[in-house]
Structure 1
């Protein structure tokens, strides 16, 4: 099962990424732009989703567009939760217990890409070419 330490490890390898403690839990930013966060059972979340968030670890990430979120939700409805709130859209929330390590890395990295400035994305891509 994936943990917040796995998210920390992935995010820690992304240029300009920083973790901050928020009232809802851990959150990751790049150049002050939120890209991943631990979900908290806020009253504004629909009751059915809030019940899931209250009993298990759920993380949300920014994504490129709403179509991507819909596709993830339709492909794995047992892992990717229905829309929670309009805040920080487009995003997708998922049960950490249902995500494998590779998919978690892809979700966090792609979320970072949606928020990172171009120069940081180039830096990350160039570093990947060297180590590949």
Structure 2
């Protein structure tokens, strides 16, 4: 299953990606200063909302293109993808990092990058035929 090293390697392989901590100094990866994936441990309100269903282990926050994509991921694999009330109405999902394959993580991080990258930069990457970073 995937690790933080995998997240870092995949994200930093994408053009103009930087790693910079969040306000609480957790790792986050950005394209032109727009975050697209980040470490997101569960906080007290999240734990209260999830109750016994609250997962343990590393949690990755991932930006998705829109709320439809979010709903599709949540419905597709609830053992991997979930959300909390904090993210209601926001195009992002939470991912149980220890339950996602590296191939699926690569696709997810790449799509998150495309969702946040400026259109011209995204078009340049697509034109190069580099839909996915090298593993």
> Structure 1 unaligned runs (5+)?
none
- For residues 89 and 50 of structure 1, do their structure 2 counterparts lie closer, same or farther at Cα, with a shift above 3 Å needed? farther
Which residue is equivalent to 1:19? 19
> Structure 2 unaligned runs (5+)?
none
Size of the alignment, in residue pairs? 130
- For residues 45 and 102 of structure 1, do their structure 2 counterparts lie closer, same or farther at Cα, with a shift above 3 Å needed? same
TM-score of the superposed pair, with normalisation by structure 2: 0.83
* Superposition deviation, residue 44 in structure 1: 3.7
Whole-Å separation in 2 of the counterparts to 1:49 and 1:25:
22
Which residue is equivalent to 2:43? 42
More divergent stretch after superposition (16-25 vs 55-64):
16-25
RMSD (Å) for aligned C-alpha atoms: 2.5
Task: Give per-residue Cα distances to partners, 1:53-105, cap 9 Å, x unaligned.
Answer: 77301101110111111111112111111334138921011101111111100
Determine if contact 1:42/1:50 at 8 Å carries over to the other structure.
no
